Copies of this chain bind each other. A is one copy, B any other.
Amino acid sequence: MDEQGPEGRGQRPRGRGLHDRVLESLGPAITAGDYPPGTVLRTDELERRYDVSRTVVREAVRVLESMHLVESRRRVGVTVRPTEEWDVFDPQVIRWRLAGPDRPRQLRSLTALRSAIEPAAAGLAAEHATPEQCAELTGHALNMVATSRGQQLPAYLVHDVAFHRVILRASGNEMFARLGDVVAEVLTGRTQHRVMFSDPDPEAVTLHVRVAEAVRAGDAEAAERYTKEITVGALRELDILAP
């Protein structure tokens, strides 16, 4: 029907299918508040809006429903659910909200989460980390030191993210490990907002080295304490940037 040539053939579209495209449009819109809770969407309306078949819309809606973003009821339609019922731990929801107007609030929530989780993870890591993980850890810490001065923020960020990922993984707790992506997102976001400022806080850099040492030494208490200091610093930083 449409003999229009394929748009970007060499592109790398995030959505691998039509339902993904619908999802990647509806999800951000809902989490951004474009459709406030209580808003009712109708399947056939969405069909027309996105010019896709019923099948595609239903699959997208089903996923949104599994995230508790919407509720689909017969004879009513697809209703946007109250914010407090959303699955705020769903990585996709987190991504959408971080990309929307709710970003500051979301960053604050996530940083508070980090502040609770990461110290505990570091403590566990001190008890469970393998020699390889200890080596990775010190490696990243040293690289953080090396890149902490002279406009090398991108390189610094890479090692910062990797460091925290190793800690979370080494904790031996699968749930902690799964937060690696979230932490990465927060760290990346923070760097972007800090790019106008100076190099990373030297104290924070030192603390990372201390954490690596503590984990290697198997000193759970120290690993936890130093990590706590790192995350408290992150919280303070947020208050400074947007009081």
Contacts and interface: CB of A to CB of B under 8 A. Distances in A.
Interface of A: 19, 55, 58-59, 62-63, 66-67, 83-84, 87-92, 109-110, 112-113, 115-117, 119-121, 124, 173-178
Given A87-B91, A112-B124, 6 more contacts: A19-B62, A59-B62, A84-B174, A84-B177, A88-B178, A109-B173
Q: How many copies of this chain?
A: 2
A13 to B, nearest CB: 11
Contacts of A115: 120
5 contacts: A83-B174, A87-B90, A89-B178, A109-B174, A113-B173
Contacts of A121: 116
A117 B115 CA distance: 9
A128 B76 CA distance: 38
Contacts of A58: 55, 59
Contacts of A178: 87-89
Majority-rule SS of A interface residues:
helix
Q: Chain B CB within 10 Å — which of A62, A84, A120 has the most?
A: A62
Nearest to A108: B173
A109 B66 contact: no
Contacts of A89: 89-90, 175, 178
A112 B171 CA distance: 10
Contacts of A88: 174-175, 178
